[in-house]
Each structure stands twice: as C-alpha cells, then as structure tokens.
Amino acid sequence: PPVPYNSPMDINKLINDRKYQFWALQLGGWSGWGVTFFVSLLFWDNPNMERYYLYVPIICAIGLVISLGLRLLYKYMWEMPAFSRLLGLLLGSYLAALAWRASRLVISKPMLDMEKEKSPEHVSGFFSYFENITTAWWVMLCWSGLYFGIKYYQLLIEEREQGLKIAAMAHEAQLKMLRYQLNPHFLFNTLNAISTLILDKDNELANTMVTRLSHFLRYSLDNDPMQKVNLA
C-alpha cells in the first residue's frame, strides 16, 4: 500500500538525507548567529535599533552565501593531504572573512555616516569590535571547523555501518558453511535409513521416506535457508 507523505518512514529518510542535514545546519547556524548578533546590539543601548532589522538578515545571508563557497573549496580539497587541507582551511576562512567584512562595511557605511552625527564615540567603539576582521575570521573558522567535524563524524558512522555489514555477512557465511557441512551428513544418514527399510522389505515406508526427502530437498532449493522455517 502507498505510504502516507508524513509517515515516520518519510521523516526518517528526510532526516538522514545529507542535503537536508546540511541546509538545516546551515540555516539554523546562521540564523542563530544573527540572533546572537542582534541581541548583542541591545546591550550597547543603540538608539536606532530599527536600522538593524534589515542589516542583520542581509549580513547573515551574505555570510551564508560565502560559506557555500567555502563548502565547494573544501569538497575540492577533501582528497588532499592533511596539511594541505589545514592550510586551505585557514587561508579559505581568512579570504571568506575578508569578503564578508568588505560586504558588511559597504552595507553599514550609510548607517555609520548617520550614526556618527549622533554618537561618534558609541559608533567607533561598537563597529571597531564587530566589524573587525579577526572576529569575522573566527566566525568563518568556526564554520569550517564544524564542517570538517561533521564530515569526519559522518565518515566514522559510515565506517561503523560498513563494519557491521561485514560482520553480518561473515556471520551469514559461517551459517551457510555449517549448513553445507550438515547437509551431506543428513543425506547420508537418510539414505542409510532408506536402505535399511528396503532390506527389511518395508518398501511402503521406504517409498514414503524417499518422497518426503525429495520434498525436503526441493523446499531447501526454493527457499532461503537464512529465513525462519516452520518446524513442519
């Protein structure tokens, strides 16, 4: 029967999807940074908070787009040696921070010009901290660290699942090997029993045993021996 769209199977499949995981973390992470950044503005007692209602979402969106560029860079570097990846992480994060800071300064320049007329000391202190390249670099380094950490964690999970599959296959092979060892003994004993019945002139019972043996062997060929089988 068709599975409903909102069934647990669909939800689990969606949660385990790599693209869904990436975009959920991407949107959630940058939204969380934006909320944190906006809340931090409140502690500076900014008299024109309404100006930041548009500024914060824009710089979050720009940061999200720039981090997508980092993702492409890290995918390209994934097969490189560890030192090259570390160097690429540091350099890529720094270049991303430069691009992010430059875009933020372009967007915030009209706000700075307006705020300087009202409170020069407040603006210089505030933006010297939050628009600093070091702060932007740390944000990109944190994003890069989380990206590599999650990727390595996913690889670890995949290797663990692969190990479990290999162990299950080995166990199944052992069971099949045991079955192949038991079958000749079973067949040998059954034929001996039939031979004894024939020597004892009990042909009817011998014929019944041959018929049942034939049914049993056919059943063994037509069905998976690893599945549960009725005792009958």
| Average pLDDT rounded to a whole number, residues 145-169 | 89
The rounded distance, in Å, linking the Cα atoms of 130 and 41 is 10
| Average pLDDT rounded to a whole number, residues 42-49 | 63
Helix 133-199 with 18-42: angle, nearest 10 deg: 150
Task: Name the token pair of 229.
Answer: 């089988």
**Residues 186-199 pLDDT 10s:** 888 888 999 999 99
Q: 97 pLDDT band (50/70/90 cuts)?
A: very high
Name the burial class of residue 37, with classes exposed (0-12), middle (13-18) and buried (19+) by CB atoms within 10 angstroms of its CB: middle
**Is 70 exceeded by the pLDDT of residue 110?**
no
Tally Cβ neighbours within 10 Å of residue 100.
21
Task: Name the token pair of 62.
Answer: 């720009």
| Average pLDDT rounded to a whole number, residues 83-108 | 88
Of 68, 69, 71, nearest in space to 148 by CA: 71
**Is 60 exceeded by the pLDDT of residue 115?**
no
**Residues 52-90 pLDDT 10s:** 778 888 889 999 999 999 999 998 988 889 888 899 999
Mapping DSSP onto H, E and C, the string for 41-70 reads: HHCCCCCCHHHHHHHHHHHHHHHHHHHHHH
pLDDT at 10: 63
**Is 80 exceeded by the pLDDT of residue 3?**
no
**Residues 179-227 pLDDT 10s:** 666 677 788 888 899 999 999 888 889 999 999 988 888 887 777 666 7
